[in-house]
Amino acid sequence: MLVAWAQLGVQEAGEALGIPAGTARSRLHRVRKKIRAALGETVPTTLREQE
């Protein structure tokens, strides 16, 4: 949420959470992967290109 909505960088989000930037980066990667799986691997930008 800090990266997507508050538009913080990964480094800044890590600092806000009190964790290293690498840990924040890993967590962000994992949550994005889970969201893609929940959405059925669709990517909104590629859907617009196919129309």
Per-residue model confidence (pLDDT) at position 43 = 63
31 inside domain: yes
32 inside domain: yes
Reading the chain (51 residues) residue by residue, the pLDDT tens digits are 899 899 999 999 999 999 999 999 999 999 989 988 888 866 666 655 554
Sign of CA dihedral 7, 12, 18, 21: positive
pTM above 0.85, yes or no: no
19 inside domain: yes
Per the structure, how many domains does the chain have?
1
Range of the domain at 31: 1-39
51 inside domain: no
- Residue at 5: amino acid letter: W
45 inside domain: no
Per-residue model confidence (pLDDT) at position 13 = 94
Longest Cα separation, the chain: 43
48 inside domain: no
22 inside domain: yes
